[in-house]
Amino acid sequence: MAKSNYDAGVDLAVHCKSGDDDLGEQVIPHQGNYGFHFRPNFWGTTLFYCKFAWQNTWKWFHTYIDGREHRGYCSSSITAG
């Protein structure tokens, strides 16, 4: 799940994907949430990465790496600064 704690009035665009799935771009309003469900693959190689974009700025992050996160669950909070 991603939660937007960025400045009031600023929407956060999120585009998440893995090697197998492209979840498309979603827009999260201030204090809004975005989540998705998936099953990690059998081989333990599942990787999800998301692009977070706001006010002419964007960043890619690995949001789920199998073996790093609690299996099948990840959480992100985006804040200014």
CA pair distance 10, 45, nearest whole angstrom: 34
Distances (CA, A) of 21 to 15, 54, 59: 11, 23, 19
Give tens-digit pLDDT for 31-53. Answer: 788 888 888 888 888 889 999 89
Per-residue pLDDT, 34:
82
Q: What mean pLDDT comes out for the span 48-64? A: 88
Q: How far is CA 75 from the centre of its chain?
A: 8
Per-residue pLDDT, 68:
74
Residue 75: pLDDT over 80: no
Pick the more confident residue, 59 or 6.
59
CA pair distance 49, 15, nearest whole angstrom: 8
Domain enclosing residue 37, as ranges:
2-79
CA pair distance 77, 21, nearest whole angstrom: 22
Q: What mean pLDDT comes out for the span 8-35? A: 87
As for how many domains the chain has, the answer is 1
- Global pTM value: 0.75
Pick the more confident residue, 9 or 28.
28
